[in-house]
């Protein structure tokens, strides 16, 4: 069992009163309930509720009726009296209702506890006499346990950081030598809190990824960080997001269909330094990119290895500390939860796959571009076949968009490709992409026949 080590006060109640903000706990708890579809209560070290049940109001009332106070007290007593468990899950008389408790401890004594109720979509009615509960707020068994892990890990991380900061401040009154430790603890608390708050963000997923990489990368003081998506062919990957410290230049000249790095083969977190035993091929890849140390963290979506988050050090040899590895893992868990939430809303991988399949089979060359960042998000097979050089050179804008008028109503235009001595119709329109942001969809078709005398009229916009 993990426990927060602290020496300033052996009284958990005193510790709780000095470092915990009940209003902030209630606010954070409410947000976590909304994104996880769980009903949550926070208690103090004696099991007294310090927050009310959070969840959708109508469903909260239903849970109050289903779960009497004795049930909550019982599961609290089990976790409080245990010397081995920091998390317990119990069945109820309803086949799809589970209760759970998580204890955050200091010196093996509870400081605060989470009590959780979940109504499951997948369940077995064998051995139960009561019917399953049907309410709006439901989740799956897999997501329930994932949410418990995230709540436990992030709570422990934040509490541990707060305790460290609290004790460092006390010690600092006696010695200025603790100033550096206090600064590190404060940075870690601020960083993990900022990342956890992104659970409720509605920004584009790439923006969220980049912000998580930025916050985590700055805290870890690394040279760069990336999120890689594994492609279905098993041989290539895409750069979903990238961050670099000031002065660091990306080693990628393209972001789609890049040959898979041999470093992306681990099933669990791998912290690599100059002393780590890795294959010759892996060491050559690191040397080619001037990487002296790296952390490679797998991301699982619906039980499938789908992405990797990587942190890289290119300036000096580095041995990763346990606290740094734990922090990077927790930041990645938040990202994983955000991705799963987006997939539930059909706004990321699943919807991208189907949309890309449709656009790949349209009989015209197509590319999709973010109208805010100007980044090309997608090109179909026909465009890659016919305009591969322009796509790789980054000259699609110069070729096809310099003739577009300012505005966002869309239209059709005639474009002359001088080097190929061909004319093309460019039809563009504005749509919402899979994650909800506004994009420009451009469709390009070659004009096989045209009448020279009517050429000028074809160059005007067709509404």
Of 437 and 217, the one with more pLDDT: 217
Of 176 and 88, the one with more pLDDT: 88
What are the tens digits of pLDDT across the range 39-82?
999 998 888 998 999 998 899 999 999 999 999 999 999 998 88
Mean pLDDT of all residues belonging to the chain: 83
Cβ burial, residue 115 (10 Å; 0-12/13-18/19+): buried
Tell me, yes or no, if the pTM score tops 0.75.
Answer: no
The lowest-confidence range among 54-68, 76-90, 163-177, 234-248 is 163-177
What average pLDDT score do residues 278-295 get? 93
What are the tens digits of pLDDT across the range 405-414?
555 566 777 7
Buried b vs exposed e over 26-49: b needs ≥16 C-beta within 10 Å?
Answer: eebbeebbebbbbbbbbbbbebee
What are the tens digits of pLDDT across the range 130-168?
999 999 999 999 999 999 999 998 888 887 777 777 777
Structural domain spans, the chain: 12-141, 201-344, 349-458
Give me the residue label for tokens 């041995």.
319
In whole angstroms, give the CA distance from residue 140 to residue 147.
10
**What's 359-423 look like in SS3?**
HHCCCCEEEEEECCCCCEEEECHHHHHHCHHHHHHCCHHHHHCCCCCCCCCCEEEEEEECCCCEE
Q: 389 falls in which pLDDT band (50, 70, 90)?
A: confident
Determine the CATH number of domain 12-141: 3.30.450
Of 388 and 72, the one with more pLDDT: 72
Please list the residues that pair with 368 across neighbouring strands: 378, 441
Instruction: Say what the pLDDT of residue 8 is.
Output: 45
Q: Is the pLDDT of residue 458 over 60?
A: no
The answer to whether the CB of 314 falls within 8 A of the CB of 292 is yes
Q: 199 falls in which pLDDT band (50, 70, 90)?
A: confident
Q: Which fold has domain 201-344?
A: Beta-Lactamase (3.30.450)
What average pLDDT score do residues 175-204 get? 76
Instruction: Say what the pLDDT of residue 347 is.
Output: 46
Phi-psi region of 37 (alpha: psi -120 to 50; beta: other; left: phi over 0): left
The lowest-confidence range among 129-138, 269-278, 452-461 is 452-461
Topology agreement, domain 201-344 and domain 349-458: yes
- Select from 3.30.450.20, 3.40.50.2300, 3.30.70.360, 3.90.79.10 the CATH code of 349-458: 3.30.450.20
Of 74 and 421, the one with more pLDDT: 74
């Amino acid at each position: 069992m993990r426990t927060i080590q602290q020496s300033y006060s052996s009284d958990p109640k005193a510790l709780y009163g000095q470092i915990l903000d009940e209003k902030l706990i209630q606010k954070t708890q409410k947000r976590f309930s909304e994104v996880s579809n769980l009903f949550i209560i926070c208690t103090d070290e004696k099991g007294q509720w310090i927050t009310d049940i959070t969840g959708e109001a109508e469903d909260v009332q239903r849970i109050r009726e289903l779960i009497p106070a004795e049930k909550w007290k019982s599961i609290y007593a089990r976790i409080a009296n245990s010397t081995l468990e920091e998390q317990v899950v119990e069945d109820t008389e309803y086949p799809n209702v589970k209760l759970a408790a998580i204890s955050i401890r200091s010196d093996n004594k509870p400081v605060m506890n989470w009590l959780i109720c979940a109504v499951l979509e997948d369940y077995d009615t064998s051995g139960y006499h009561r019917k399953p509960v049907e309410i709006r707020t439901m989740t799956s068994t897999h997501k329930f346990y994932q949410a418990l892990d995230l709540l436990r890990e992030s709570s422990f991380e934040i509490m541990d950081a707060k305790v460290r900061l609290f004790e460092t401040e006390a010690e600092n009154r006696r010695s200025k030598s603790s100033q550096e430790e206090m600064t590190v603890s404060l940075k870690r608390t601020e960083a993990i809190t900022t990342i956890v708050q992104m659970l409720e963000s509605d920004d584009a997923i790439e923006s969220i990824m980049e912000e998580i990489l930025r916050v985590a990368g700055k805290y870890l003081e690394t040279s760069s960080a990336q999120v890689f998506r594994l492609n279905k062919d098993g041989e290539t990957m895409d750069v979903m997001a990238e961050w670099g410290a000031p002065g660091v230049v990306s080693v990628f000249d393209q972001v789609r269909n890049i040959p898979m790095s041999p470093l992306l083969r681990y099933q669990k977190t791998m912290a690599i330094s100059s002393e780590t035993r890795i294959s010759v091929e892996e060491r050559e890849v690191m040397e080619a990119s001037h990487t002296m140390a790296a952390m490679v963290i797998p991301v699982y979506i619906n039980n499938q290895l789908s992405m990797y988050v990587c942190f890289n050090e290119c300036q000096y040899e580095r041995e990763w500390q346990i606290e740094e590895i734990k922090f990077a893992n927790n930041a990645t868990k938040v990202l994983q939860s955000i991705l799963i939430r987006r997939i539930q809303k059909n706004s990321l991988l699943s919807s991208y796959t189907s949309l890309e399949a449709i656009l790949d089979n349209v009989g015209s060359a197509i590319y999709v571009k973010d109208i805010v960042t100007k980044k090309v998000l997608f090109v179909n097979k026909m465009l890659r076949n016919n305009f591969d050089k322009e796509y790789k050179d980054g000259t699609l804008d110069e070729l096809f968009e310099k003739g577009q008028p300012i505005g966002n109503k869309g239209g059709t235009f005639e474009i002359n490709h001088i080097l190929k001595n061909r004319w093309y119709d460019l039809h563009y329109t504005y749509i919402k992409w899979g994650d909800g942001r506004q994009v420009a969809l451009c469709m390009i078709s070659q004009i096989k026949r045209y009448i020279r005398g009517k050429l000028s009229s074809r160059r005007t916009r067709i509404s």
